[in-house]
Structure 1
């Protein structure tokens, strides 16, 4: 389970590392709507929410599904512009102008992502021009709730009205709180982008991506893998690849892999694991191995035993009335998952549960879900 980007034939000059105030505003709105996703931002979110004008707060509630349950591609309009090589305009107003350049069909498709996630990356429905697709979009929106249904109905009736409404809403957010946020985070984002641009120039894309958590490039297959509990695939083709840093995004790693749009990797510049020096979260594969390893009652009992001290295979076999080969098979699963450590002491091989790894499992699982 990962998102893959085919970068075969991608020219170095078509790889950009660039700042996007619109994408950062979208992430700020997500943090306000889902503060539990962002423990480090909860105090900030409470302060901002408490100080919002009632009218602005109400308008944000009308469209919060654009950034709450999914992160809509309306926050990456440059990726949908012709040629597949555009970059964010650099200012919020400039990026909103780019949003205005999208066709109605592109805008509607991106805005309705919250109802059409299963088809993301596949054939694009046309609810503006196809009655069947229109009914389907309304049905999916209705299943999500009355607010989503009203928004979708208004959007399909007259996209230009929703475009103008959304533009005003986002500009009001800049005036209310995001202008200060952007002034505070822009320096960190600029420094990160500068560093990655220098890496790109000197060492290439593969080395640059090693500095982005959960992202790697297999140069032999010319394929980027973003380690997520999601499945998706896209390609750069004759276009480009955009790397967009965010200061507010952890633990999310957003990957735009919409059909015929420029691929975008929206990555956090820091995380608690990076800032505190603690171990990084495991890959999705490692996480699955750990969950599967603990899904067996015998291995759970072994973990209980090994949490209290070090034991040899023979000691565990005697304690659990099992044969040594049976115990060894279960220990192999636990060791492969990184849950049990083994050390030799003289002629004895002793096993012990790695308590810090087990203690992190729930938080690692949550981060894997949100990544």
Structure 2
């Protein structure tokens, strides 16, 4: 999900986007499973999930947790891919094995190694990895990097296979619940951003974030600092799993910050403004036809107009309502804007509706 920030602080940060992603949450939940003691809110859930794994699954989980540094490396990869093309968890998982191998390792290493270096290392020239590079001093050991590069194909296959099972058997059901509640949190974050502005909102994401005149600094165990002039846009991804950790990523001018949120408890279901926007966004045969087309593949306004034989201006009006409801996401590719259907957001809204009309226990 994507929300543009108030342009009034454009001189400070060019844009601030707030996103909600089931793929990010899925990988974040694996990070929690790998270190449950650090995330007490989810400790009971972690114990239940880990104890339900059979011996083979648990061994594979432990292996993948170790090689990905408790899934941190995969979270960086997701951050990198999220900017380009994630429209559903299932498609993302399937794409792990088909994505360009340089892109895969470039994302795994958080964009901290030049593409050419990654390419040459994958071709067998591991000596191109400069052992004095800051990435190897503070982020990942050169030994681990070399191992990942040498076993890149096997690593991709094993990650994809594990995620597919985890999504189908565990996380898709969990997302049916927390996705509904995170929609409410997303609306709250939107309002907060509008009320306090971009700079204050970024500071509010975590107490270890310090914004200075010429830079933004993260007071982690290994302190990170980025010059403002190097940051083209800021993406804040809200997550129910990440707190109390501070996790950030900066690739090609895009600074990503994970913001921990507390899920609201629902003693009774409230009908939010967001569900009304959802119903409005799907409330005609033409809108549904547009979503069906976008589910098949991302398309431009022109392509939709030609396929559906409707004026481009009419398509644009429908897409505007769908963006307000967080059902589509525009992605610029060179000089064209392609719209992607956000399937998991659609499913979360359906779950929200189902909960509203679910009878009380005494009525069943």
Tell me the TM-score range normalised by the shorter chain: 0.5 to 0.7
- Distance in 2 of aligned mates of 1:206 and 1:70: 29
Gaps of 5+ in 2: 1-9, 264-364
Q: Select which of 167, 178, 195 maps to 2:171.
A: 178
Where in structure 2 are the equivalents of 1:10-159 lying within 5 Å?
Answer: 10-12=13-15, 15-69=16-70, 71-72=72-73, 74-77=74-77, 79-80=79-80, 86=83, 89=86, 91-96=88-93, 103-111=100-108, 121=112, 125-126=117-118, 127-129=121-123, 130-133=125-128, 152-155=149-152, 159=153
- Distance in 1 of aligned mates of 2:76 and 2:130: 27
SS at match of 1:224: strand
8 Å CA contact 2:64–2:71 kept in 1: the answer is: no
Query: In the alignment, what sits opposite 1:197?
Result: 190
| Bigger Cα Rg | 1
Q: Select which of 154, 158, 163 maps to 2:156.
A: 163
SS at match of 1:263: strand
Gaps of 5+ in 1: 1-6, 114-119, 272-371
SS at match of 1:265: strand
- Is 1:221 equivalent to 2:216 in the alignment? no
8 Å CA contact 1:24–1:248 kept in 2: the answer is: yes
Cα 1:80/1:63, change in 2 over 3 Å:
same
Normalised to the residue count of structure 2, the TM-score between the two structures is 0.55
Cα 1:41/1:203, change in 2 over 3 Å:
closer
Query: In the alignment, what sits opposite 2:241?
Result: 248
Cα 1:34/1:56, change in 2 over 3 Å:
same
- Distance in 1 of aligned mates of 2:209 and 2:34: 30
SS at match of 1:251: coil
What is the number of equivalent residue pairs in this alignment? Answer: 243
8 Å CA contact 2:12–2:199 kept in 1: the answer is: no
Cα 1:163/1:20, change in 2 over 3 Å:
same
Query: In the alignment, what sits opposite 2:297?
Result: none
Q: CA deviation at 1:252?
A: 0.8
Select the structure with the greater relative contact order (CA < 8 A; seq sep ≥ 6).
Answer: 1
Q: Select which of 265, 268, 278 maps to 2:260.
A: 268
Q: CA deviation at 1:242?
A: 0.8
8 Å CA contact 1:31–1:38 kept in 2: the answer is: yes
- Distance in 2 of aligned mates of 1:135 and 1:227: 26
SS at match of 2:204: coil
Structure 1, residues 114-161: CA drift from partner, whole Å, max 9, x if none?
xxxxxx846564221433136979xx87966xxx98655321xxx3x5
